[in-house]
Each structure stands twice: as structure tokens, then as C-alpha cells.
Amino acid sequence: EAGVVQSPRYKIIEKKQPVAFWCNPISGHNTLYWYLQNLGQGPELLIRYENEEAVDDSQLPKDRFSAERLKGVDSTLKIQPAELGDSAVYLCASSGPGHHNEQFFGPGTRLTVL
Amino acid sequence: AQSVAQPEDQVNVAEGNPLTVKCTYSVSGNPYLFWYVQYPNRGLQFLLKYITGDNLVKGSYGFEAEFNKSQTSFHLKKPSALVSDSALYFCAVRDGGNTPLVFGKGTRLSVIA
């Protein structure tokens, strides 16, 4: 079974440029998460989708961040414009139905903003 | 609001010795507790979880964790450490409702041959 797929794995951009990250969850997983992981810290939730609906986006900085999951499968997270402080690893995870199911994580996208 | 504390940034243990990585939590309802491991340049991998039932939970790669409600702890343990266990370990919690998973800051485990 394929795991959570993310691309690109690494991205280097200059500040004020836009950037987008893509995630394809495990087949059949209706819940998709985007996390931000700063160096030396645990992941912090940015947004959670149940199918195509964003059910928790309270931690998403909506002035510059946006996300979509149009068909309830793969998802895109966008930053426009990027700032120096956005340099981090962006993790995508998915889980099956049920509140206690574990989340499966992708390898992440390491973003460096110069 | 739920929270997780991992009091040790770094744990060093000799190969073959038992290891413990500590975790304490705070939730308003019943806790759902998880341990994940992260290897360099990799995503987090699920190790084990406690939802209900036996306080001792067994997981992947020989790891286990003990849920202690009175001490609000969920320490990760392994009887005999391997060099390949060296990685970053994260404890996470959510309460019984449909709430986000909250992660600790992580503990770096170093197993020395």
C-alpha cells in the first residue's frame, strides 16, 4: 500500500515569492491534515479536511496561506507571498474514519525562504 | 485545551540497556495518546497508541508504553535499546472528542554502541 505522497521534497525560494505544496493521502483516507514543523519542535496543525470540507483551519494564517482539497482526495497548500519565517517543514498526514485512528505522515516538504 | 510535555530534550542510553522516554499530558476529557518516531528527513511514523483498555500498550519495533492516569503520564519504553532506535520521538494527545492531535516538542534518543 502506498503511503502519503508529498511533493516537492525540498523547495528554496526568495521572500515574497509564491510557493505550493502537494499531498496525495493514502487511498480511502477521508481525513487530511497539513502540519507545520519548525526545527526542534513538534508538528503544529495548520488545517484539517474531512473529505473536501475544511473542518479546522483556526491555525492557518489566512492572510498568506491557503489550501484546497477540491475532490476530497489530494490537496494543495499555498503560501503567497512567502516570508523568511515560513522556512520550515510542511507535513501532510491522513487518517481513516474514526476519532482514534492514527495519522499516517508523508515525508514532508522542507521550505527554505531566502 | 490539551497539552503534552516531554521533559527531556535528549536521552542517551547504551545499546542493550532499557530505555524510557517520558511524556506527561493534560486533557479535559478522556485522553487518546500516541507515540511517533521521526528519522532524519523522514515523516513521522506511528509506533503505538492508547485509547482504552490495558494500561500497557505494545507497539512496533519492540516498543511499549504505560498509561498512568493518576500521574497523567504515557512513558515510552523498550527493554533493550538498539543503535537503530536513535531518532526523534514525539508524544501526542487528543481528548475523546473530535479535536486536533497535539504534539510534544520531541525527545532525541541516542543509543550508543
Q: What is the pLDDT of residue A63?
A: 94
Q: Measured between alpha carbons, how far is residue B12 from residues A33, B4, B24, B98, B112 in Å?
A: 32, 21, 20, 36, 7
Question: Closest residue of A to B104, CA-based?
Answer: A42
Q: Which of A103-107, B28-32, B94-98 has the lowest mean pLDDT?
A: B94-98
* Beta carbons of B101 and B94 less than 8 angstroms apart: yes
Neighbouring CB atoms inside 10 A of A24's CB total 18
Please check whether residue A6 is in contact with residue A60, taking contact to mean a CB–CB distance below 8 angstroms.
Answer: no
pLDDT of residue B24: 98
Provide the pLDDT confidence category of residue B97 given band limits of 50, 70 and 90. Answer: low
| Model pLDDT for residues B41-87, shown as the tens digit of each residue | 788 999 999 998 899 999 999 999 999 999 999 999 999 999 999 99
Question: Cis before residue A81, ω within 30 degrees of 0?
Answer: yes
pLDDT at position B56 is 95
In degrees, to the nearest 5, what angle opens at C-alpha A50 toward C-alphas A88 and A48?
Answer: 20
Output phi, psi for A97, to 5 deg. Answer: -65, 145
- Divide the 114 residues of chain A into consecutive groups of 10 and give the mean pLDDT of each group: 90 97 94 93 94 91 94 94 96 84 92 97
Instruction: Please tell me the predicted confidence (pLDDT) of residue B99.
Output: 75
Residues of A with CB under 8 A from a CB of B: 4, 6, 40-45, 48, 56, 91, 93, 99-100, 102-108, 110
- Within chain A, how many helices (H) and strands (E) appear? 0, 11
Q: Which three cell numbers stand for residue B95?
A: 481528548
The pLDDT value recorded for residue B98 is: 66
Task: Tell me what pLDDT residue B13 has.
Answer: 98
Percentage of residues in chain B with pLDDT exceeding 90?
81
- pLDDT at site A99: 63
Residues of A whose CB is below 8 A from B92: 42
**What 3 state SS string does A18-48 have?**
CEEEEEECCCCCCEEEEEEECCCCCCEEEEE
* CB neighbour list of residue B101: distance below 8 Å, 6 or more residues apart: A45, A103, B34, B92, B93, B94
